[in-house]
Chain A
Amino acid sequence: MSPLLSVDDLRVTFETHRGPVQAVRGVSFDLGRERLGIVGESGSGKSQTGRALLQLSAGNGRVTANRMEFDGIDLMNAPEREMRKIRGARISMIMQDPRYSLNPVLKVGDQIAEAYRIHTKASKRDAQKRALEMLETVQIREPGKVYQMFPHQVSGGMGQRVMIAMMLIPNPDIIIADEPTSALDVTVQMQVLALLDDMVRDRGMGLILISHDLNLVASFCDRVLVMYAGRVMEVIEAGHLQDAQHPYTRGLLNCAPELGHPQDMLPVLRRDPAWLDE
């Protein structure tokens, strides 16, 4: 079976007044109907990889790739008109903090309904009905009441459920979730992940989960790309995280304090300049 999304030698370079900055340097991967994690520290290029897929890189960014293909469509050369049909409808993106990604002056329910109406020719009433159903799907207890709320009235966890509802309502093939739970409390984080888990299982979607939390991602995803300085250091099958070979991955794993493994001082990550080489 051919993959949903195929990326070969993706590069993102930003022109700055101090010269070009290479944020992504030759990333390649295939995504099927699976959960793929992209993990790395800040500045490793994980978010820029996600953004480049939807042509959402900042204006001073230049994206090149040998191939970036989604369901037979060349994402590198697709005109803006075609990208608009893909963004949201077929590949959608969940951002980190619902406080900044929701429109503060629109009721959350109307924002979900809007997402549906943009991608289908549904009537206003149909879209409202679908939005209410969607709120129920993301396990919001009183969908009718929450529909009428404004973003500042909902909690962080509820806001993220609203975001997920909005992204899922056009029934996309791929979801790119960029740190979807980092702003949430641990119990809420687990609940939101369980929800994403259900959606991917029930609807057969592909999920790209971008995060800085190696342990969490490995326990959630099927496969994990570990990124450093714009490059993929290692691809790990989830469940084999503890057998990771690359010294960078090992370093990241070791330097986090663990409840079950008390130690006086934490090992510090030593960065090898050779990891920067292509």
Chain B
Amino acid sequence: MNERTGMIDVQNLNVTFGHGNSEVRAVRDVTFNIDKGESFGLVGESGSGKSTVLRAIARLTHDWTGTITIDGAALSHRRDRATARRMQMVFQDPYGSLHPRHTVNDILMEPLEIHRMDRREARVHKALEDVGLGIEMRFRYPYQISGGQRQRIAIARALILEPEVLLLDEPTSALDVSVQAEILNLLKSLQREHELTYLMVSHNLAVVAHMCDRIAVMNRGRFAEELTTEQLRSATPTEGYTRQLLSASGSYDRETAKSFVSFE
């Protein structure tokens, strides 16, 4: 047996939307595993299926086949409270993911009520402290705080149930680079403090490389390539698709831009 312990194990995941002529195979035969405390990144362009993988694991999508195992237990298609507590999600747009008519306090209390947790006041204080916000935030509404603070609230809401896994769907792409740096630093230190396992989706190669140990590049529902961050940094990906994505992620170059092809 290997010394490493698996946290998330995904085997032959397929997600299909629609029927007949309008059938779309969003995810095709995706297999990967993530160890406890590891960070795994999914990158790809829009429509590549990266967010759909995340949504299947969170069971926000029901049309999947294959097996998803969390810490040794296979997931069913229905969301259950026990797994929901262990696995929380942070969404891309903090403007859309927080209820506009709920105060920060309401937003943080709701998961505690659903999961019938004790010491609610203390947990709200702790969660705010964890994400670097003061308790004076408690009675503000989302429109009264900045985008970066909103994303901190979204992270606090995910952490308040003391999960082991965070599913991060483009957590910083709606933010300015300066705010992105603060949120990425926060996510890194939270991971160390709470021994969290991260599955992160992003279109930004540099962000994923900064956060993750291993990366899978997705194209049209499939894994084009799985590689370590070092391999990505040393620019030695073997797949043409990954190389093109890499060259498009840097500075503008007229000749490079003209050389792009589409990968079927």
Contact = CB atoms under 8 A, between A and B. Distances in A.
B210 interface: yes
Interface stretch (A6-14, A161-169, A184-192): A184-192
Interface in A183-213: 185-191, 193-194, 197, 212
A32 B175 CA distance: 32
A212 B232 contact: no
Contact of B177 (A219, A255, A259, A263): A255
B254 A187 contact: no
A21 interface: no
B183 to A, nearest CB: 10
Contacts of B61: none
A185 B203 contact: yes
Nearest to A43: B176
Contacts of A20: none
Nearest to B249: A186
Interface in B146-204: 147, 176-178, 180-182, 184-185, 188-189, 203
Given A41-B178, A42-B147, A194-B258, A259 B249 contact: yes
Interface in A224-263: 251-252, 255-260, 262-263
A266 interface: yes
Interface residues of B, number: 36
A157 B101 CA distance: 35
B251 interface: yes
A257 B176 contact: no
Contacts of A189: 248
A269 B238 CA distance: 36
A274 interface: no
A42 B207 CA distance: 20
A259 B257 contact: no
Contact of B181 (A188, A216, A256): A256
A190 B257 CA distance: 5
Contacts, number: 96
Nearest to B211: A257
A212 B176 contact: yes
A26 interface: no
B214 to A, nearest CB: 15
Query: Which of B147, B178, B180, B205 has most A Cβ within 10 Å?
Result: B178
A143 interface: no
B233 interface: yes
B209 interface: yes
B245 interface: yes
A267 B182 CA distance: 8
Contacts of A193: 252, 257
A215 interface: yes
B244 interface: yes
Given A186-B203, A187-B45, A190-B257, A42 B252 contact: no
Interface residues of A, number: 36
Contacts of A190: 248, 252-253, 256-257, 260
Contacts of B181: 255-257, 266-269
A58 interface: no
A257 B206 contact: yes
A265 interface: yes
Given A187-B244, A262-B209, A269 B178 contact: yes
Contacts of A266: 181, 184-185, 210
A29 interface: no
B152 to A, nearest CB: 14
B46 interface: yes
A258 B209 CA distance: 8
Given A156-B46, A194-B258, A265-B185, A255 B251 contact: no
Contact of A219 (B189, B244, B253): B253
Given A191-B257, A191-B260, A265-B188, A255 B178 contact: yes
A150 interface: no
Nearest to B48: A185
Contacts of A216: 251-252
A47 B207 CA distance: 26
B258 A262 contact: no
Contacts of B229: 262
Contacts of A42: 147, 176
8 contacts: A190-B253, A191-B257, A252-B177, A255-B177, A257-B206, A259-B205, A262-B210, A266-B184
Interface of B: 45-46, 147, 176-178, 180-182, 184-185, 188-189, 203, 205-207, 209-210, 229, 232-233, 244-246, 248-254, 256-258, 260
Given A259-B206, A268-B182, 18 more contacts: A41-B177, A156-B46, A187-B248, A187-B260, A190-B257, A194-B257, A256-B177, A256-B180, A257-B184, A257-B206, A259-B205, A259-B232, A259-B249, A262-B233, A263-B210, A266-B185, A268-B181, A269-B181
Which 4 residue pairs of A and B lie closest in terms of their CB atoms, listed nearest first? A219-B251, A257-B210, A255-B181, A194-B257
